[in-house]
Amino acid sequence: MIAWLTSTTAGKFIATFFISMVPVIELRGGLPYGIGFGLDYPLALTAALLGNMVPVPFILVYISRIFLWLRGRHKKLDDFITKLEDKAHLKSETVEKYGPLGLLLFVAIPLPGTGAWTGALVAALMNMKVRHALPCVFLGVCIAAAIITAVTFGVIHIF
């Protein structure tokens, strides 16, 4: 199975797509993975962008309901959910101060604790409208992709 993922273009595309869907790793790990394993840059970029963006609308629309449902069903998860919400509220200061531009910048900076997942969570907990949040997250992911591309190709050319 793993050999197929690294031996065909389709497999590399699918692997890049799914790696980019994983929280914390997101596009920051998926794009260099795709490029590093020989996927053509346009395909690697497409897979990473799509993979990173697939969860965002669901987070924006459903995360509050999911948290409420999990708290009602599984009391043990209440502490974990509270920690997630607290972290998101701490990170929401920039977004609150600068609005949608703050969300875009928050998502665009490819550092730990930022990105599409956290940005979407912050926007959802701030009750930001999907029509405002989704384009900001997408543009932030595109900017992060440009930064990661520059770093990835810079590292490749150094070695």
Q: What is the pTM of this model?
A: 0.88
- At 26-65, the pLDDT tens digits run 999 999 999 999 999 999 999 999 999 999 999 999 999 9
The pLDDT, as a whole number, for residue 156 is 59
- Would you place residue 121 in the very low, low, confident or very high pLDDT band (cuts 50, 70, 90)? very high
The pLDDT, as a whole number, for residue 94 is 78
The pLDDT, as a whole number, for residue 74 is 78
- List, in sequence order, every beta strand (DSSP E) within 14-153: none
**Per-residue buried b or exposed e for 126-139, using 16+ beta carbons within 10 Å of the residue's own CB:** eebeeeebbebbbb
The pLDDT, as a whole number, for residue 126 is 92
- At 75-88, the pLDDT tens digits run 788 888 888 888 88
Q: Which residues contact 136 (CB under 8 A, 6 or more apart)?
A: 100, 101, 103, 104, 107, 119, 123
CB 156 within 8 A of CB 146: no
Nearest to 108 by CA among 23, 20, 28: 28
Q: CA torsion 45→46→49→51, rounded to 10°? A: -120
Range scoring the smallest mean pLDDT among 50-54, 70-74, 117-121 = 70-74
- DSSP state letter for 24: T
Q: Which residues contact 69 (CB under 8 A, 6 or more apart)?
A: none
